[in-house]
Structure 1
Amino acid sequence: MKLKYTAAWVGVTAAAMFAVSACGAESVKSESVKQTADAVDKTDTVMAALARATDRTEQVGSAEVKMITDMGTGTPITMDGTYSWGDGPAYDVQMDTKASQMQTLQDDPTLRALFVDGAYYYDIDPQPSGPLAGKEWMKIDGSAVFGEAGAEAFNNSNSSPSASMKALKYANDVENLGTETVNGKRATHYRAVIDQAHMGRYKDALGEDAGVLGSVTGGVDEIAMDVWVGDRDLPVRLVQEMGAMKVTVDFEKFGDTTEVKAPPAAQTGDLTEAIKEQAGAAQ
């Protein structure tokens, strides 16, 4: 069965979006306190606004989201569902089966995908043979996506939208681009760039040799980030560009989302090693 990385890189989007950017604040604090202080002196208003938004986002812990992943190689993939970060990153979303090139594993037009406890799960049709024979779910561990070092950094981090905004506060060239209307809401648009020196341990997940994510993005030298903050000091939209990958997340309703749980082990087939072998053969 030829997966063409699809199962792995589609699953990357939500987790990678928030995890990779989470390194920014911690790494810059430790590496360049003076640089951070100078930036704060010059942009007090921006820093204060982002600090409020960071605190509010961290407090709510979860949200309903719509996410679009564009690899620049075909139809962008849309994912709708819930994302939570209160007890570690997790999501439960529906995505277009054909756009994600998963129609060989699922006949329905939409496919349910989960991320929980560091692994991706896909609700598939039971297959006639192989590791997915008779299974309702396909599992891919995060180590096949980020590489071993990248997955460890991700799993041990405070990965969340609030962590992304902490990274914005300490990134290079933070700008306030003014007020715009996004999804019918008035929001202030902020933009920043995080260079490779300030990615901390997450550069392990973004290099050309770092698992499927590195293979898909072609390696990442910098991360461009945009966030639109609404009148309740909560993000309305968050956009991240990492190499060839662009991920857009629109936030709808915050809080009160259902806990994401892994499917029963007896109903799950694990393709982690097959994906790792395929990625290694392609390098």
Structure 2
Amino acid sequence: MGIRSKSAAVVVLAALALTTTACDDEKKDGGKAAAPAATAAATAEDTPSAPPAKVTPAIFLEKVTEKTGAAKSAKIDESITIGATTIKGKGAASWAHGLQADITMDVSGSPLAKTLEPVTGGPSVHYLYTDIGMYMKLGPDASAELGGHRWLRYTKEDLAKATGAQTTQFTSMDPVQGVRALIAGGKVTEVGQDTVNGKAATHYTGELDLADMIKVTGSSVTQEQIEKIKQGLTANGVTHETLDVWVDADMLVVKRVEQADTKAGALNVTVGYSDYGTPVLAAEPYDYVDMRELQKHSEGATAS
């Protein structure tokens, strides 16, 4: 199987870049991993939400960030398409204090699927996101060759090096971030009424240029980090993106779509949110091996 080969490490890093960045460079202040959210799921009504009279979409969306943020967690249904490659993910995420998530990605629509199979044991990749970093579950062959460890850990530093971007890109799963991006862009408009998962919702849209996308990173980001984000966007050929969100009658985000042109082809990231308040149990695994250790083994095998 040869997981210790140099190519194996490259494959894992490539899969990581594809499934975690998705050209999303939004930033949310970090924090400790959220405790499992145990609030009741919000119930959407069948009446469309709409801004009160004489209230701009931006002001209304500020209220949406409050309501959605207070819900703390939700089930996630995600689809990422870059050119001819599509990856889909399902799971749950909490954003109460930084991101905590348990997501399984289906990479069968990616050219990496066959190459990844010796590492993951199949076309699905199970990820846990915590305050420490990200854990990827290993397949039985890779686990056996790595001393029985069942998880491969990427620290935040590892992720930054692997993707060339900030590890806070995990917050692409945070529904509040999409709304904040629309507000920060200053060009949000209400499209009108729509239906999402059989229920009424209001559709908002906006276009963000490079400066807008940088603005979303927030005041806590250093100038050096901002430059890295800018370099990453430029390297991927991203100059602007279209961002759409759908809000239900309870002022909760139920859908988010990002679209942009990249050097790898058209990018479309669609995330659906449901069952707000769902518990998220993404505890730190104890039986893991660090990505850095895998890289050392790879370098040693190559040298020998």
Q: Give per-residue Cα distances to partners, 1:77-135, cap 9 Å, x unaligned.
A: 11100011002112101222533523121234533111112522111124469994532
**Partners of 1:11 and 1:143 in 2: CA distance:** 17
Judging changes above 3 Å, is the alpha-carbon distance between structure 1 residues 167 and 106 closer, same or farther for their aligned structure 2 residues?
A: closer
Structure 2 match to 1:263: 285
Give how far 1:145 is off: 4.1
My pick for the range that moved more, 113-122 or 50-59, is 113-122
**Partners of 1:142 and 1:134 in 2: CA distance:** 24
Letter in 1 for 2:127: A
Given that residues 81 and 92 in structure 1 are in contact (C-alpha distance below 8 angstroms), is that contact kept between their aligned partners in structure 2? yes
**Partners of 2:124 and 2:142 in 1: CA distance:** 21
**Which TM-score applies when normalising by structure 1?**
0.72
Give how far 1:163 is off: 3.2
Does 2:30 align with 1:12?
Answer: no
Letter in 2 for 1:99: G
Does 2:161 align with 1:151?
Answer: no
Q: Which has the larger radius of gyration?
A: 2
Structure 1 match to 2:81: 70
Counterpart among 170, 179, 182 of residue 193 in structure 2: 179
SS of 1:105's equivalent in the other structure is helix
* Higher relative contact order structure (alpha carbons within 8 Å, sequence separation ≥ 6): 2
**Which TM-score applies when normalising by structure 2?**
0.68
Structure 2 match to 1:86: 96
Percent pairwise identity: 23
Give how far 1:11 is off: 3.8
Given that residues 104 and 125 in structure 2 are in contact (C-alpha distance below 8 angstroms), is that contact kept between their aligned partners in structure 1? yes
**Partners of 2:121 and 2:142 in 1: CA distance:** 14
Counterpart among 98, 116, 138 of residue 124 in structure 1: 138
Q: Which runs of 5+ in 1 are unaligned?
A: 24-42, 279-283
Aligned length: 247
**Partners of 1:7 and 1:114 in 2: CA distance:** 15
Aligned residues: CA RMSD: 3.6
My pick for the range that moved more, 48-57 or 1-10, is 1-10
Q: Which runs of 5+ in 2 are unaligned?
A: 30-53, 216-220, 300-304
**Partners of 1:145 and 1:243 in 2: CA distance:** 24
**Partners of 1:110 and 1:170 in 2: CA distance:** 35
Structure 1 match to 2:270: 248
SS of 1:261's equivalent in the other structure is coil
Give how far 1:179 is off: 0.7
Letter in 1 for 2:271: V
Letter in 1 for 2:280: T
Given that residues 57 and 162 in structure 1 are in contact (C-alpha distance below 8 angstroms), is that contact kept between their aligned partners in structure 2? yes
Give how far 1:58 is off: 0.7
SS of 1:20's equivalent in the other structure is coil
**Partners of 2:132 and 2:261 in 1: CA distance:** 23
SS of 1:50's equivalent in the other structure is helix
**Partners of 2:268 and 2:155 in 1: CA distance:** 22
Judging changes above 3 Å, is the alpha-carbon distance between structure 1 residues 145 and 230 closer, same or farther for their aligned structure 2 residues?
A: same
**Partners of 1:185 and 1:149 in 2: CA distance:** 39
SS of 1:173's equivalent in the other structure is coil
Given that residues 11 and 120 in structure 1 are in contact (C-alpha distance below 8 angstroms), is that contact kept between their aligned partners in structure 2? no
Does 2:116 align with 1:110?
Answer: no
Given that residues 141 and 272 in structure 1 are in contact (C-alpha distance below 8 angstroms), is that contact kept between their aligned partners in structure 2? no
SS of 1:227's equivalent in the other structure is strand
Give how far 1:159 is off: 8.8
**Partners of 2:91 and 2:205 in 1: CA distance:** 26
My pick for the range that moved more, 245-254 or 196-205, is 196-205
Judging changes above 3 Å, is the alpha-carbon distance between structure 1 residues 149 and 105 closer, same or farther for their aligned structure 2 residues?
A: closer
**Partners of 2:250 and 2:293 in 1: CA distance:** 41
Given that residues 12 and 145 in structure 1 are in contact (C-alpha distance below 8 angstroms), is that contact kept between their aligned partners in structure 2? no
Give how far 1:230 is off: 0.8
Give how far 1:67 is off: 0.6
Given that residues 100 and 282 in structure 2 are in contact (C-alpha distance below 8 angstroms), is that contact kept between their aligned partners in structure 1? yes
Given that residues 177 and 190 in structure 1 are in contact (C-alpha distance below 8 angstroms), is that contact kept between their aligned partners in structure 2? yes
**Partners of 2:104 and 2:164 in 1: CA distance:** 29
Counterpart among 249, 252, 255 of residue 237 in structure 1: 255
